[in-house]
């Protein structure tokens, strides 16, 4: 590892402090460090060279919480650059490296003695007639949701060329296995092992007893046509970016070409994270 990029949760002073310490630690080991632009400005350093940092480094270190990691994963995109997520937030389900494990984990990375988890990402496209309006790349989920005062939405769902059903609900979540423990789980969807080749479609507050979450192959293309008039309906990507929809818009979701590479913690596995972070299986 000759060049490492650092991103941090800018609203967390501890993350900025740790970023400075990691920067000094890496430079002492003759590793070139590139700092995200605003982070470099906050630290009064010149570590931002311009351009896309993920395209110029061998590893990205993310200091913060899951939201920070998810936003960085979208920037990494198709690049085969592993992400080492360090939890400085509250939950830390994806940023599974603790602060106490940070420097031992970096030592292993520099020596090449580490493993990664390849997490599926999803590509989503919004089409309006024959026009492509926007395209999103997500690690967790795509969500179609109505405004607070809007009526239920009819969402006609197709899997490849096969009609699935018309969901009548407050919204719809299309989640990757990684995203299955986020909004999908809160909406009553299943937990999916991140190694499985599938994703899940879960209605939000369905108004029909027969509308329930369904898991589909990661080879499938899920197409949703939203049907409404005069209502506030929006699409969000990973809960961080989005746009309003119009009646008749079509949302297409499929597996992205490449996944996100997350550096694994050497001290715990996925199921231990489930038990400790989500208290899964406790009475």
Say how far apart CA 88 and CA 19 lie, in whole Å.
Answer: 11
DSSP-derived pairing of the beta strands 198-204 and 83-87: unpaired
**Per-residue pLDDT reduced to its tens digit, 125-167:** 999 999 999 999 999 999 999 987 778 899 999 999 999 999 9
Say if 34 falls within a structural domain. Answer: yes
Q: What CATH code is carried by the domain that includes residue 115?
A: 3.40.50.10330
Positive or negative: CA dihedral 163, 167, 173, 175 = negative
Angle between helices 102-111 and 13-27 (to 10 degrees): 40
Question: Structural domain of residue 236, as residue ranges?
Answer: 122-255
Residue 277 clears pLDDT 80, i.e. is over it: no
The answer on 216 and 164 residing in a single domain is yes
DSSP secondary structure string for all residues of 40-64: HHHTT-----SS-SGGG-SEEEEEE
Distance CA 45, CA 171 (A): 45
Residue 208 is predicted with a pLDDT of 82
Total number of domains constituting the chain: 2
Say if residue 275's pLDDT is above 80. yes
Answer whether residue 282 is part of any domain: no
Q: Which residues contact 137 (CB under 8 A, 6 or more apart)?
A: 74, 77, 121, 122, 123, 124, 237, 256
Residues in the chain: 283
What are the pLDDT digits (tens) for 33-80?
999 989 988 888 776 677 889 999 999 999 999 999 999 999 999 999
Report, as residue numbers or ranges, the catalytic residues.
66
pTM: 0.91
Residue 283 lies in a domain: no
The CATH number of residue 200's host domain is: 2.60.200.30
């Amino acid at each position: 590892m000759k060049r490492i990029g650092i991103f941090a949760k800018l609203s967390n002073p501890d993350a900025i402090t740790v970023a400075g310490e990691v920067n000094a630690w890496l430079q002492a080991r003759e590793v070139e460090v590139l700092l995200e632009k605003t982070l470099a400005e906050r630290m009064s350093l010149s570590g931002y060279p311009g351009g896309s940092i993920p395209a110029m480094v061998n590893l990205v270190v993310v200091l913060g919480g899951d939201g920070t990691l998810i936003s960085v994963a979208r920037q990494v995109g198709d690049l085969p650059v592993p992400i080492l997520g360090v939890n400085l937030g509250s939950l830390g389900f994806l940023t599974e490296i603790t602060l106490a494990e940070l420097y031992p984990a970096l030592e292993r990375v520099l020596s090449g003695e580490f493993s990664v988890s390849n997490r599926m990402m999803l590509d989503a496209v919004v089409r309006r007639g024959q026009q492509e309006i926007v395209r999103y790349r997500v690690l967790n989920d795509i969500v179609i949701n109505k405004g607070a005062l809007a009526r239920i939405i009819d969402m006609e769902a197709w899997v490849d060329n096969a009609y699935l059903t018309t969901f009548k609900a407050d919204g719809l979540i299309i989640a990757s296995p990684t995203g299955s423990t986020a909004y999908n789980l809160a909406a009553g969807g299943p937990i999916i092992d991140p190694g499985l080749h599938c994703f899940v479609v879960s209605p939000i507050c369905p108004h029909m007893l027969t509308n329930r979450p369904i898991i589909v192959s990661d080879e499938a293309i899920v197409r949703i046509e939203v049907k409404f008039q005069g209502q506030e309906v929006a699409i969000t990507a990973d809960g961080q970016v989005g746009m309003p929809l119009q009646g008749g818009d079509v949302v297409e979701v499929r597996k992205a070409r490449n996944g996100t590479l997350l550096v694994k913690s050497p001290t715990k596995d996925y199921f231990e994270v489930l038990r400790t972070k989500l208290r899964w299986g406790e009475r």
